[in-house]
Structure 1
Amino acid sequence: MTIELIHVPGGGRISAEKAGDGPPLVLLHGSVHDGRVWNRVFAGLARHRTVVRYDARGHGRSTLPTGPFRYEDDLLAVLDRFGFRTAGLAGLSMGGEVALDFTLEHPERVRSLTLIAASAGGHEWPRSPGTDAYAAARRGSVGSRIAELELGLWAGLGDRAPGYEVIEPMVRENAEAWAAAEKGHALDPDAPAVGRLDRIGVPTAIVVGDHDHPEIGVIAGRLADGIPGARREVVAGADHYLPLRAPERLLDILLRIP
Protein backbone atom coordinates (compact mmCIF):
# COMPACT_ATOMS: atom_id res chain seq x y z
CA MET A 1 0.00 0.00 0.00
CA THR A 2 1.28 3.48 -0.87
CA ILE A 3 -0.04 6.95 0.00
CA GLU A 4 0.69 9.79 -2.42
CA LEU A 5 0.23 13.55 -2.15
CA ILE A 6 -0.66 14.74 -5.64
CA HIS A 7 -0.33 18.39 -6.67
CA VAL A 8 -3.41 19.33 -8.66
CA PRO A 9 -4.53 22.19 -10.96
CA GLY A 10 -5.76 25.26 -9.14
CA GLY A 11 -3.43 24.71 -6.18
CA GLY A 12 -3.38 22.30 -3.28
CA ARG A 13 -2.75 18.60 -2.85
CA ILE A 14 -4.84 15.46 -2.99
CA SER A 15 -4.13 12.48 -0.74
CA ALA A 16 -4.44 9.16 -2.59
CA GLU A 17 -3.95 5.57 -1.47
CA LYS A 18 -3.02 2.74 -3.81
CA ALA A 19 -2.99 -1.00 -3.15
CA GLY A 20 -3.13 -4.33 -4.94
CA ASP A 21 -2.31 -5.50 -8.43
CA GLY A 22 -4.30 -6.05 -11.60
CA PRO A 23 -6.65 -3.91 -13.72
CA PRO A 24 -6.87 -0.42 -12.15
CA LEU A 25 -10.01 0.77 -10.39
CA VAL A 26 -10.37 4.29 -8.95
CA LEU A 27 -12.90 4.99 -6.18
CA LEU A 28 -14.56 8.43 -5.84
CA HIS A 29 -16.45 9.35 -2.67
CA GLY A 30 -19.42 11.63 -2.09
CA SER A 31 -19.82 15.21 -0.93
CA VAL A 32 -19.16 15.08 2.83
CA HIS A 33 -17.25 11.83 2.71
CA ASP A 34 -13.61 10.90 2.26
CA GLY A 35 -11.70 7.73 1.45
CA ARG A 36 -12.97 6.07 4.64
CA VAL A 37 -16.31 5.44 2.96
CA TRP A 38 -14.52 2.61 1.08
CA ASN A 39 -12.99 1.05 4.23
CA ARG A 40 -15.03 -2.13 4.05
CA VAL A 41 -14.36 -2.91 0.36
CA PHE A 42 -10.87 -1.54 -0.23
CA ALA A 43 -8.86 -4.54 0.97
CA GLY A 44 -11.14 -6.99 -0.83
CA LEU A 45 -10.77 -5.09 -4.09
CA ALA A 46 -6.99 -4.95 -3.68
CA ARG A 47 -6.84 -8.75 -3.77
CA HIS A 48 -8.04 -8.62 -7.39
CA ARG A 49 -7.37 -5.10 -8.70
CA THR A 50 -4.95 -2.21 -8.50
CA VAL A 51 -7.26 0.00 -6.48
CA VAL A 52 -6.92 3.72 -5.69
CA ARG A 53 -9.05 5.78 -3.35
CA TYR A 54 -8.46 9.48 -2.83
CA ASP A 55 -9.81 12.35 -0.77
CA ALA A 56 -11.34 15.10 -2.90
CA ARG A 57 -10.51 18.79 -2.36
CA GLY A 58 -11.20 19.88 1.20
CA HIS A 59 -11.99 16.34 2.35
CA GLY A 60 -10.04 13.99 4.58
CA ARG A 61 -6.30 14.53 4.24
CA SER A 62 -6.53 16.65 1.06
CA THR A 63 -6.11 20.41 1.23
CA LEU A 64 -8.60 23.10 0.35
CA PRO A 65 -8.21 24.59 -3.12
CA THR A 66 -6.32 27.87 -3.44
CA GLY A 67 -8.06 28.80 -6.70
CA PRO A 68 -10.83 27.64 -9.06
CA PHE A 69 -10.77 23.91 -9.74
CA ARG A 70 -12.73 21.08 -11.32
CA TYR A 71 -13.20 17.65 -9.77
CA GLU A 72 -12.79 16.13 -13.24
CA ASP A 73 -9.34 17.72 -13.62
CA ASP A 74 -8.35 16.30 -10.25
CA LEU A 75 -9.40 12.82 -11.34
CA LEU A 76 -7.31 13.18 -14.48
CA ALA A 77 -4.32 14.19 -12.32
CA VAL A 78 -4.81 11.04 -10.22
CA LEU A 79 -4.90 8.79 -13.30
CA ASP A 80 -1.79 10.44 -14.70
CA ARG A 81 0.13 10.28 -11.41
CA PHE A 82 -0.36 6.52 -11.17
CA GLY A 83 0.27 5.95 -14.88
CA PHE A 84 -3.20 4.58 -15.64
CA ARG A 85 -3.83 4.88 -19.38
CA THR A 86 -7.33 3.61 -18.68
CA ALA A 87 -9.09 2.68 -15.45
CA GLY A 88 -12.41 1.56 -14.12
CA LEU A 89 -14.25 4.27 -12.17
CA ALA A 90 -16.58 3.64 -9.24
CA GLY A 91 -18.24 6.77 -7.86
CA LEU A 92 -20.57 7.20 -4.91
CA SER A 93 -23.10 10.06 -4.87
CA MET A 94 -21.21 13.22 -5.96
CA GLY A 95 -18.32 10.93 -6.94
CA GLY A 96 -20.66 9.18 -9.35
CA GLU A 97 -21.57 12.50 -10.94
CA VAL A 98 -17.87 13.33 -11.33
CA ALA A 99 -17.14 9.89 -12.81
CA LEU A 100 -20.01 10.29 -15.27
CA ASP A 101 -18.90 13.76 -16.38
CA PHE A 102 -15.30 12.57 -16.66
CA THR A 103 -16.32 9.63 -18.85
CA LEU A 104 -18.14 11.98 -21.23
CA GLU A 105 -15.13 14.31 -21.31
CA HIS A 106 -12.36 11.68 -21.47
CA PRO A 107 -13.94 8.48 -22.84
CA GLU A 108 -10.53 7.14 -23.91
CA ARG A 109 -9.39 7.01 -20.26
CA VAL A 110 -12.28 4.96 -18.87
CA ARG A 111 -12.68 1.17 -19.17
CA SER A 112 -15.79 0.74 -16.99
CA LEU A 113 -18.18 2.79 -14.89
CA THR A 114 -19.98 1.95 -11.66
CA LEU A 115 -22.40 4.63 -10.46
CA ILE A 116 -23.39 4.04 -6.83
CA ALA A 117 -26.28 6.09 -5.41
CA ALA A 118 -25.13 8.64 -7.95
CA SER A 119 -26.26 12.15 -8.61
CA ALA A 120 -26.25 13.36 -12.23
CA GLY A 121 -25.69 16.76 -13.78
CA GLY A 122 -28.90 18.22 -15.21
CA HIS A 123 -31.31 16.23 -13.03
CA GLU A 124 -33.78 18.58 -11.38
CA TRP A 125 -34.53 17.60 -7.79
CA PRO A 126 -38.04 18.21 -6.45
CA ARG A 127 -38.09 20.69 -3.60
CA SER A 128 -38.75 19.56 -0.04
CA PRO A 129 -38.17 21.08 3.40
CA GLY A 130 -35.22 18.75 3.97
CA THR A 131 -33.42 19.46 0.72
CA ASP A 132 -34.13 23.21 1.04
CA ALA A 133 -32.63 23.24 4.54
CA TYR A 134 -29.61 21.31 3.29
CA ALA A 135 -29.04 23.79 0.46
CA ALA A 136 -29.29 26.71 2.89
CA ALA A 137 -26.74 25.14 5.25
CA ARG A 138 -24.39 24.60 2.30
CA ARG A 139 -24.68 28.23 1.21
CA GLY A 140 -23.86 29.36 4.73
CA SER A 141 -21.05 26.82 5.21
CA VAL A 142 -22.59 25.89 8.56
CA GLY A 143 -20.71 22.67 9.24
CA SER A 144 -22.69 21.47 12.25
CA ARG A 145 -26.00 21.99 10.45
CA ILE A 146 -24.73 20.34 7.26
CA ALA A 147 -23.65 17.30 9.27
CA GLU A 148 -26.95 17.10 11.14
CA LEU A 149 -28.97 17.25 7.92
CA GLU A 150 -26.64 14.87 6.08
CA LEU A 151 -27.04 12.19 8.73
CA GLY A 152 -30.80 12.70 8.87
CA LEU A 153 -31.42 12.75 5.12
CA TRP A 154 -28.88 10.23 3.85
CA ALA A 155 -27.99 7.82 6.67
CA GLY A 156 -31.58 6.68 6.93
CA LEU A 157 -30.78 3.28 8.47
CA GLY A 158 -29.44 5.11 11.51
CA ASP A 159 -26.78 4.38 14.05
CA ARG A 160 -27.62 0.72 14.61
CA ALA A 161 -26.90 -0.34 11.04
CA PRO A 162 -23.38 -1.39 9.97
CA GLY A 163 -20.84 1.32 9.28
CA TYR A 164 -22.25 4.15 11.39
CA GLU A 165 -19.11 4.22 13.51
CA VAL A 166 -17.32 5.43 10.35
CA ILE A 167 -20.16 7.51 8.88
CA GLU A 168 -20.83 9.84 11.80
CA PRO A 169 -17.28 11.12 12.48
CA MET A 170 -16.47 11.24 8.76
CA VAL A 171 -19.46 13.48 8.05
CA ARG A 172 -18.80 15.80 10.98
CA GLU A 173 -15.12 16.16 10.10
CA ASN A 174 -15.77 16.97 6.43
CA ALA A 175 -18.96 19.05 6.41
CA GLU A 176 -17.63 22.59 6.80
CA ALA A 177 -14.50 22.12 4.66
CA TRP A 178 -16.58 20.59 1.86
CA ALA A 179 -18.87 23.60 1.78
CA ALA A 180 -15.82 25.87 1.59
CA ALA A 181 -14.27 23.79 -1.20
CA GLU A 182 -17.48 23.92 -3.21
CA LYS A 183 -17.21 27.70 -3.41
CA GLY A 184 -14.04 27.26 -5.49
CA HIS A 185 -15.50 24.66 -7.82
CA ALA A 186 -15.68 25.81 -11.43
CA LEU A 187 -18.94 25.77 -13.35
CA ASP A 188 -20.49 22.50 -14.45
CA PRO A 189 -20.36 21.52 -18.15
CA ASP A 190 -22.55 23.55 -20.51
CA ALA A 191 -24.21 20.32 -21.67
CA PRO A 192 -25.53 18.40 -18.64
CA ALA A 193 -24.79 14.68 -18.45
CA VAL A 194 -28.44 13.63 -18.43
CA GLY A 195 -28.80 14.83 -22.02
CA ARG A 196 -25.78 12.85 -23.22
CA LEU A 197 -26.14 9.47 -21.56
CA ASP A 198 -26.35 7.70 -24.91
CA ARG A 199 -22.71 8.65 -25.51
CA ILE A 200 -21.44 6.42 -22.71
CA GLY A 201 -19.78 3.47 -24.43
CA VAL A 202 -18.20 1.49 -21.57
CA PRO A 203 -19.64 -1.33 -19.42
CA THR A 204 -21.76 0.40 -16.80
CA ALA A 205 -23.48 -0.70 -13.60
CA ILE A 206 -26.00 1.45 -11.74
CA VAL A 207 -26.17 0.55 -8.04
CA VAL A 208 -28.71 1.82 -5.53
CA GLY A 209 -29.72 0.81 -2.01
CA ASP A 210 -33.32 -0.07 -1.25
CA HIS A 211 -33.36 2.38 1.71
CA ASP A 212 -31.82 5.37 -0.10
CA HIS A 213 -33.60 8.68 -0.69
CA PRO A 214 -36.41 8.05 -3.22
CA GLU A 215 -35.00 10.56 -5.71
CA ILE A 216 -31.75 8.57 -5.93
CA GLY A 217 -33.87 5.69 -7.19
CA VAL A 218 -35.39 8.01 -9.81
CA ILE A 219 -31.90 9.05 -10.95
CA ALA A 220 -30.78 5.42 -11.03
CA GLY A 221 -33.67 4.58 -13.33
CA ARG A 222 -32.86 7.51 -15.58
CA LEU A 223 -29.21 6.45 -15.81
CA ALA A 224 -30.08 2.81 -16.45
CA ASP A 225 -32.53 3.73 -19.19
CA GLY A 226 -30.23 6.25 -20.85
CA ILE A 227 -26.83 4.52 -20.84
CA PRO A 228 -26.60 1.83 -23.54
CA GLY A 229 -26.30 -1.65 -22.04
CA ALA A 230 -26.25 -0.42 -18.43
CA ARG A 231 -27.44 -2.84 -15.80
CA ARG A 232 -29.18 -1.78 -12.61
CA GLU A 233 -28.51 -3.43 -9.24
CA VAL A 234 -30.71 -2.82 -6.19
CA VAL A 235 -28.94 -3.68 -2.95
CA ALA A 236 -31.04 -4.73 0.03
CA GLY A 237 -30.32 -3.27 3.45
CA ALA A 238 -28.47 -0.20 2.22
CA ASP A 239 -29.07 3.54 2.33
CA HIS A 240 -26.94 6.25 0.69
CA TYR A 241 -23.83 4.95 2.49
CA LEU A 242 -23.98 1.72 0.54
CA PRO A 243 -20.23 0.82 0.62
CA LEU A 244 -20.35 0.77 4.44
CA ARG A 245 -23.83 -0.68 4.82
CA ALA A 246 -23.59 -3.61 2.35
CA PRO A 247 -19.90 -4.10 1.50
CA GLU A 248 -20.06 -7.78 0.56
CA ARG A 249 -22.76 -7.16 -2.04
CA LEU A 250 -20.96 -4.15 -3.46
CA LEU A 251 -17.67 -6.02 -3.62
CA ASP A 252 -19.35 -8.74 -5.65
CA ILE A 253 -20.77 -6.17 -8.06
CA LEU A 254 -17.47 -4.34 -8.48
CA LEU A 255 -15.51 -7.53 -9.15
CA ARG A 256 -17.93 -8.52 -11.92
CA ILE A 257 -17.21 -5.28 -13.81
CA PRO A 258 -14.46 -5.74 -16.47
Structure 2
Amino acid sequence: MTTNTADPSAVPADDVRIPVPGGGHLWADRSGAGSPVVLLHGAGMDSRLWDPIVPRLAGHHEVIRFDARGLGRSAPPEAPFSDVDDLRTVLDHFGHRRAALVGLSMGGETSLDFALAHPDRVAALALVGASVSGHSWPATPELSAYSAARRERDAARLAELELSIWASLGRTAPGGELIEVMVADNAERRIISELHIAPSAEGDAEPRLGTITAPTLVVHGDHDHPEIGVIAERLAADLPAARAHRVPDADHYLPLRTPDRLAELLLAHLSRS
Protein backbone atom coordinates (compact mmCIF):
# COMPACT_ATOMS: atom_id res chain seq x y z
CA MET A 1 0.00 0.00 0.00
CA THR A 2 1.16 3.54 -0.76
CA THR A 3 1.82 5.58 2.34
CA ASN A 4 1.78 9.33 2.83
CA THR A 5 3.12 10.41 6.20
CA ALA A 6 2.24 14.09 5.80
CA ASP A 7 0.05 15.77 8.40
CA PRO A 8 -3.49 15.06 7.12
CA SER A 9 -4.72 18.41 8.44
CA ALA A 10 -2.37 20.08 5.95
CA VAL A 11 -3.80 18.16 2.98
CA PRO A 12 -6.58 20.16 1.30
CA ALA A 13 -9.87 18.33 0.76
CA ASP A 14 -11.70 18.35 -2.57
CA ASP A 15 -15.38 19.24 -2.05
CA VAL A 16 -17.36 18.24 -5.15
CA ARG A 17 -20.85 17.66 -6.50
CA ILE A 18 -21.08 14.49 -8.60
CA PRO A 19 -23.92 14.28 -11.17
CA VAL A 20 -25.94 11.08 -10.91
CA PRO A 21 -28.34 9.24 -13.25
CA GLY A 22 -31.91 10.49 -13.02
CA GLY A 23 -30.87 14.01 -12.09
CA GLY A 24 -29.34 15.69 -9.07
CA HIS A 25 -25.95 15.19 -7.50
CA LEU A 26 -24.03 13.48 -4.71
CA TRP A 27 -21.91 15.56 -2.35
CA ALA A 28 -18.43 14.12 -1.84
CA ASP A 29 -15.01 15.11 -0.59
CA ARG A 30 -11.53 13.70 -0.97
CA SER A 31 -8.45 14.14 1.18
CA GLY A 32 -5.02 12.61 1.65
CA ALA A 33 -3.00 10.52 -0.79
CA GLY A 34 -2.23 6.86 -1.32
CA SER A 35 -4.38 3.88 -2.12
CA PRO A 36 -8.09 4.86 -2.28
CA VAL A 37 -10.56 4.18 0.51
CA VAL A 38 -14.26 5.03 0.23
CA LEU A 39 -16.33 5.62 3.39
CA LEU A 40 -20.07 4.86 3.26
CA HIS A 41 -22.39 5.97 6.07
CA GLY A 42 -25.62 4.37 7.27
CA ALA A 43 -29.29 5.24 6.78
CA GLY A 44 -30.58 8.29 8.63
CA MET A 45 -27.11 9.85 8.87
CA ASP A 46 -24.55 11.41 6.55
CA SER A 47 -20.82 11.74 5.97
CA ARG A 48 -20.29 13.68 9.19
CA LEU A 49 -20.29 10.22 10.76
CA TRP A 50 -16.70 9.92 9.53
CA ASP A 51 -15.44 13.30 10.77
CA PRO A 52 -13.03 11.81 13.36
CA ILE A 53 -11.91 9.00 11.04
CA VAL A 54 -10.97 10.94 7.91
CA PRO A 55 -7.87 12.71 9.30
CA ARG A 56 -6.64 9.48 10.85
CA LEU A 57 -6.80 7.64 7.51
CA ALA A 58 -5.76 10.53 5.26
CA GLY A 59 -2.14 10.35 6.39
CA HIS A 60 -1.90 6.96 4.65
CA HIS A 61 -4.66 6.84 2.02
CA GLU A 62 -6.70 8.87 -0.39
CA VAL A 63 -9.97 9.05 1.56
CA ILE A 64 -13.26 9.61 -0.26
CA ARG A 65 -16.59 9.99 1.49
CA PHE A 66 -19.97 10.96 0.11
CA ASP A 67 -23.52 11.57 1.27
CA ALA A 68 -25.93 8.92 0.01
CA ARG A 69 -28.72 10.00 -2.31
CA GLY A 70 -31.04 12.48 -0.60
CA LEU A 71 -29.10 12.60 2.66
CA GLY A 72 -26.74 15.23 4.05
CA ARG A 73 -25.63 17.58 1.28
CA SER A 74 -26.69 15.32 -1.61
CA ALA A 75 -29.73 16.21 -3.69
CA PRO A 76 -33.02 14.37 -3.14
CA PRO A 77 -33.75 11.68 -5.74
CA GLU A 78 -35.95 12.57 -8.69
CA ALA A 79 -36.28 9.01 -10.03
CA PRO A 80 -35.60 5.42 -8.90
CA PHE A 81 -31.94 4.91 -7.99
CA SER A 82 -29.50 2.27 -6.81
CA ASP A 83 -26.94 2.80 -4.04
CA VAL A 84 -24.68 0.32 -5.85
CA ASP A 85 -24.85 2.38 -9.03
CA ASP A 86 -24.21 5.56 -7.07
CA LEU A 87 -21.08 4.04 -5.52
CA ARG A 88 -19.85 3.08 -8.99
CA THR A 89 -20.50 6.66 -10.14
CA VAL A 90 -18.38 7.99 -7.26
CA LEU A 91 -15.47 5.67 -8.08
CA ASP A 92 -15.66 6.57 -11.76
CA HIS A 93 -15.77 10.29 -10.99
CA PHE A 94 -12.52 10.10 -9.04
CA GLY A 95 -10.90 7.86 -11.63
CA HIS A 96 -10.56 4.73 -9.52
CA ARG A 97 -10.97 1.33 -11.08
CA ARG A 98 -10.51 -0.31 -7.66
CA ALA A 99 -10.77 0.81 -4.03
CA ALA A 100 -11.21 -0.39 -0.47
CA LEU A 101 -14.73 0.11 0.88
CA VAL A 102 -15.55 0.94 4.50
CA GLY A 103 -19.28 0.82 5.16
CA LEU A 104 -21.37 1.25 8.28
CA SER A 105 -24.86 -0.28 8.54
CA MET A 106 -26.58 0.51 5.21
CA GLY A 107 -23.15 1.48 3.87
CA GLY A 108 -21.90 -2.00 4.72
CA GLU A 109 -24.87 -3.52 2.92
CA THR A 110 -24.13 -1.40 -0.15
CA SER A 111 -20.46 -2.42 0.01
CA LEU A 112 -21.38 -6.12 0.02
CA ASP A 113 -23.85 -5.68 -2.82
CA PHE A 114 -21.21 -3.78 -4.78
CA ALA A 115 -18.63 -6.53 -4.15
CA LEU A 116 -21.05 -9.06 -5.62
CA ALA A 117 -21.85 -6.89 -8.64
CA HIS A 118 -18.29 -5.66 -9.26
CA PRO A 119 -15.81 -7.99 -7.51
CA ASP A 120 -12.86 -6.74 -9.56
CA ARG A 121 -13.37 -3.21 -8.25
CA VAL A 122 -13.08 -4.04 -4.53
CA ALA A 123 -9.60 -4.21 -3.01
CA ALA A 124 -10.81 -4.80 0.55
CA LEU A 125 -13.93 -4.48 2.70
CA ALA A 126 -14.44 -3.17 6.21
CA LEU A 127 -17.98 -3.76 7.50
CA VAL A 128 -18.83 -1.71 10.59
CA GLY A 129 -22.09 -2.59 12.35
CA ALA A 130 -23.16 -3.75 8.90
CA SER A 131 -26.51 -4.90 7.64
CA VAL A 132 -26.75 -7.37 4.75
CA SER A 133 -29.42 -7.63 2.09
CA GLY A 134 -31.60 -10.71 2.51
CA HIS A 135 -31.30 -10.88 6.29
CA SER A 136 -34.51 -11.68 8.19
CA TRP A 137 -34.78 -9.26 11.09
CA PRO A 138 -36.68 -10.34 14.23
CA ALA A 139 -40.14 -8.86 14.78
CA THR A 140 -39.37 -7.21 18.12
CA PRO A 141 -41.61 -4.39 19.38
CA GLU A 142 -38.90 -1.76 18.95
CA LEU A 143 -37.96 -2.82 15.41
CA SER A 144 -41.63 -3.11 14.45
CA ALA A 145 -42.20 0.45 15.70
CA TYR A 146 -39.14 1.58 13.73
CA SER A 147 -40.47 -0.02 10.54
CA ALA A 148 -43.92 1.49 11.16
CA ALA A 149 -42.45 4.99 11.51
CA ARG A 150 -40.68 4.59 8.18
CA ARG A 151 -43.78 3.17 6.51
CA GLU A 152 -46.05 5.89 7.92
CA ARG A 153 -43.53 8.61 7.04
CA ASP A 154 -43.45 9.89 10.61
CA ALA A 155 -40.11 11.70 10.66
CA ALA A 156 -40.30 12.82 14.29
CA ARG A 157 -41.06 9.31 15.54
CA LEU A 158 -38.38 7.84 13.26
CA ALA A 159 -35.74 10.20 14.67
CA GLU A 160 -36.78 9.36 18.23
CA LEU A 161 -36.51 5.62 17.57
CA GLU A 162 -33.22 6.01 15.69
CA LEU A 163 -31.66 7.49 18.80
CA SER A 164 -33.19 5.06 21.30
CA ILE A 165 -32.41 1.90 19.30
CA TRP A 166 -29.18 2.71 17.49
CA ALA A 167 -27.54 5.39 19.67
CA SER A 168 -28.21 3.65 22.97
CA LEU A 169 -25.18 5.14 24.74
CA GLY A 170 -26.94 8.49 24.64
CA ARG A 171 -26.08 12.13 24.23
CA THR A 172 -23.39 12.26 26.92
CA ALA A 173 -21.26 9.57 25.25
CA PRO A 174 -18.62 10.70 22.70
CA GLY A 175 -20.19 12.09 19.54
CA GLY A 176 -23.64 12.31 21.12
CA GLU A 177 -24.45 15.87 20.12
CA LEU A 178 -23.42 15.32 16.48
CA ILE A 179 -25.45 12.10 16.33
CA GLU A 180 -28.57 13.96 17.47
CA VAL A 181 -28.02 16.70 14.89
CA MET A 182 -27.45 14.23 12.04
CA VAL A 183 -30.52 12.20 12.93
CA ALA A 184 -32.72 15.30 13.13
CA ASP A 185 -31.34 16.68 9.86
CA ASN A 186 -31.90 13.46 7.93
CA ALA A 187 -35.13 11.90 9.24
CA GLU A 188 -37.44 13.53 6.69
CA ARG A 189 -34.83 13.28 3.92
CA ARG A 190 -34.41 9.58 4.58
CA ILE A 191 -38.14 8.92 4.21
CA ILE A 192 -38.23 10.71 0.85
CA SER A 193 -35.08 9.00 -0.39
CA GLU A 194 -36.22 5.49 0.53
CA LEU A 195 -39.37 5.93 -1.56
CA HIS A 196 -37.17 6.01 -4.66
CA ILE A 197 -34.76 3.12 -3.98
CA ALA A 198 -34.92 0.60 -6.83
CA PRO A 199 -34.87 -3.15 -6.03
CA SER A 200 -31.41 -4.70 -6.34
CA ALA A 201 -30.80 -6.32 -9.69
CA GLU A 202 -28.29 -8.65 -8.06
CA GLY A 203 -30.61 -10.26 -5.52
CA ASP A 204 -29.95 -10.75 -1.81
CA ALA A 205 -26.36 -10.89 -0.61
CA GLU A 206 -26.74 -13.09 2.47
CA PRO A 207 -26.95 -16.46 0.66
CA ARG A 208 -24.00 -15.52 -1.56
CA LEU A 209 -21.49 -14.28 1.01
CA GLY A 210 -19.21 -17.24 0.33
CA THR A 211 -18.46 -15.90 -3.15
CA ILE A 212 -16.96 -12.62 -1.86
CA THR A 213 -13.20 -13.11 -1.69
CA ALA A 214 -12.00 -9.59 -0.81
CA PRO A 215 -10.09 -9.34 2.50
CA THR A 216 -12.74 -8.28 5.00
CA LEU A 217 -12.78 -6.74 8.46
CA VAL A 218 -16.04 -7.19 10.41
CA VAL A 219 -16.49 -4.80 13.33
CA HIS A 220 -19.37 -4.09 15.69
CA GLY A 221 -19.80 -2.36 19.03
CA ASP A 222 -20.64 -4.19 22.23
CA HIS A 223 -23.63 -1.85 22.79
CA ASP A 224 -25.03 -2.14 19.27
CA HIS A 225 -28.43 -3.74 18.66
CA PRO A 226 -28.15 -7.51 19.37
CA GLU A 227 -29.14 -8.40 15.79
CA ILE A 228 -26.09 -6.53 14.48
CA GLY A 229 -24.03 -8.96 16.54
CA VAL A 230 -25.89 -11.86 14.93
CA ILE A 231 -25.16 -10.44 11.47
CA ALA A 232 -21.51 -9.88 12.38
CA GLU A 233 -21.17 -13.54 13.37
CA ARG A 234 -22.77 -14.59 10.08
CA LEU A 235 -20.45 -12.35 8.08
CA ALA A 236 -17.37 -13.60 9.91
CA ALA A 237 -18.38 -17.23 9.37
CA ASP A 238 -19.49 -17.00 5.74
CA LEU A 239 -17.07 -14.53 4.16
CA PRO A 240 -13.98 -16.57 3.17
CA ALA A 241 -11.40 -13.90 4.06
CA ALA A 242 -13.01 -12.27 7.10
CA ARG A 243 -11.68 -11.32 10.52
CA ALA A 244 -13.96 -10.02 13.26
CA HIS A 245 -13.59 -7.60 16.17
CA ARG A 246 -16.06 -6.57 18.85
CA VAL A 247 -15.28 -3.07 20.11
CA PRO A 248 -16.11 -2.10 23.72
CA ASP A 249 -17.93 1.10 24.67
CA ALA A 250 -19.57 1.56 21.26
CA ASP A 251 -23.10 1.38 19.90
CA HIS A 252 -24.15 1.57 16.22
CA TYR A 253 -22.40 4.94 15.77
CA LEU A 254 -19.00 3.40 16.36
CA PRO A 255 -16.92 5.91 14.29
CA LEU A 256 -18.04 8.70 16.63
CA ARG A 257 -18.00 6.69 19.85
CA THR A 258 -14.54 5.06 19.56
CA PRO A 259 -12.72 6.70 16.63
CA ASP A 260 -9.20 5.86 17.81
CA ARG A 261 -9.87 2.13 18.09
CA LEU A 262 -11.75 1.99 14.81
CA ALA A 263 -9.04 3.89 12.94
CA GLU A 264 -6.42 1.55 14.42
CA LEU A 265 -8.35 -1.50 13.17
CA LEU A 266 -8.95 0.02 9.75
CA LEU A 267 -5.33 1.04 9.19
CA ALA A 268 -4.07 -2.40 10.22
CA HIS A 269 -6.57 -4.11 7.92
CA LEU A 270 -5.86 -1.85 4.95
CA SER A 271 -2.10 -2.28 5.35
CA ARG A 272 -2.52 -6.02 4.89
CA SER A 273 -4.91 -5.80 1.93
Q: Sort the TM-score into its range (normalised by shorter chain).
A: over 0.9
Q: In structure 1, what residue type is equivalent to 2:246?
A: V
- Map residues 27-42 of structure 1 onto 2, 5 A cutoff: 27-42=39-54
Q: In structure 2, what residue type is equivalent to 1:218?
A: V
- Normalised by the length of structure 1, the TM-score is 0.98
Aligned to 1:57: 69
Aligned to 2:263: 251
Aligned to 1:173: 185
How many equivalent pairs are there? 258
Q: 1:124 pairs with 136, 154, 172, which one?
A: 136
**Residue 226 (1) aligns with residue 238 (2):** yes
Please give the alpha-carbon distance, in whole angstroms, between the structure 2 residues aligned to 1:144 and 1:60: 17
Please give the alpha-carbon distance, in whole angstroms, between the structure 1 residues aligned to 2:245 and 2:86: 28
**Residue 205 (1) aligns with residue 217 (2):** yes
Q: 1:217 pairs with 223, 229, 233, which one?
A: 229
Aligned to 1:163: 175
Q: Offset of 1:191 from its aligned partner?
A: 2.9
Q: 2:82 pairs with 63, 70, 83, which one?
A: 70
Q: Offset of 1:141 from its aligned partner?
A: 1.8
Please give the alpha-carbon distance, in whole angstroms, between the structure 2 residues aligned to 1:189 and 1:215: 26
SS at match of 1:40: coil
Please give the alpha-carbon distance, in whole angstroms, between the structure 2 residues aligned to 1:159 and 1:167: 8
- Normalised by the length of structure 2, the TM-score is 0.93
Please give the alpha-carbon distance, in whole angstroms, between the structure 1 residues aligned to 2:176 and 2:51: 12
1:10-42 deviation digits (Å, cap 9, x = unpaired): 221000010000000000000001000001111
Q: In structure 2, what residue type is equivalent to 1:222?
A: R
Please give the alpha-carbon distance, in whole angstroms, between the structure 2 residues aligned to 1:165 and 1:141: 24
**Residue 23 (1) aligns with residue 35 (2):** yes
Q: Offset of 1:159 from its aligned partner?
A: 1.1
Q: Offset of 1:229 from its aligned partner?
A: 2.1
1:127-162 deviation digits (Å, cap 9, x = unpaired): 011111111111122111110000000001111110
Aligned to 1:238: 250
Q: Offset of 1:190 from its aligned partner?
A: 5.3
Identity between Structure 1 and Structure 2 (%): 53
Aligned to 1:93: 105
User: Which aligned segments of 4 or more residues in structure 1 are displaced greater than 3 angstroms?
Assistant: none
Q: In structure 1, what residue type is equivalent to 2:232?
A: A
1:136-194 deviation digits (Å, cap 9, x = unpaired): 11112211111000000000111111001110000000011111100100013453111
**Any unmatched runs of 5+ in structure 1?**
none
Please give the alpha-carbon distance, in whole angstroms, between the structure 2 residues aligned to 1:10 and 1:90: 26
Please give the alpha-carbon distance, in whole angstroms, between the structure 1 residues aligned to 2:187 and 2:47: 14
Please give the alpha-carbon distance, in whole angstroms, between the structure 2 residues aligned to 1:132 and 1:218: 18
Aligned to 2:163: 151
